[in-house]
């Protein structure tokens, strides 16, 4: 659970902004989506390889221009 202490004289909007920033930094939503469905380690590794290959291809294409 994320706890945000509201300081004296701090507006609720400012505290809410700090809460949202902290929420985004710890990756709550990303973790929930990852845990929603199990992916086999072999499938996960294949996705990593495909992503790396895609990034390398994009990098090579950008270098040619």
pLDDT in tens, 20-35: 998 888 888 888 888 8
Q: Give the DSSP H/E element, type plus range, for residue 6.
A: none
What's the CA dihedral at 28, 19, 25, 31 to 10 degrees?
A: 0
Compute the distance between CA of residue 45 and CA of residue 49 in angstroms, rounded to an integer: 6
Q: Model-level pTM?
A: 0.46
Alpha-helical segments (H) within the chain? 12-26, 28-36, 41-64
Please tell me the predicted confidence (pLDDT) of residue 65: 63
Percentage of residues in the chain with pLDDT exceeding 90? 45
pLDDT tens, residue by residue, 4-22: 888 899 999 999 999 999 8
């Amino acid at each position: 659970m994320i706890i945000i202490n509201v300081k004296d004289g701090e507006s609720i909007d400012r505290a809410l902004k700090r809460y949202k920033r902290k929420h985004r930094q710890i990756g709550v939503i990303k973790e929930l989506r990852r845990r929603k469905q199990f992916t086999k380690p072999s499938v996960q590794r294949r996705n990593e390889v495909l992503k790396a290959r895609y990034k390398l291809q994009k990098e090579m294409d950008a270098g040619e221009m």
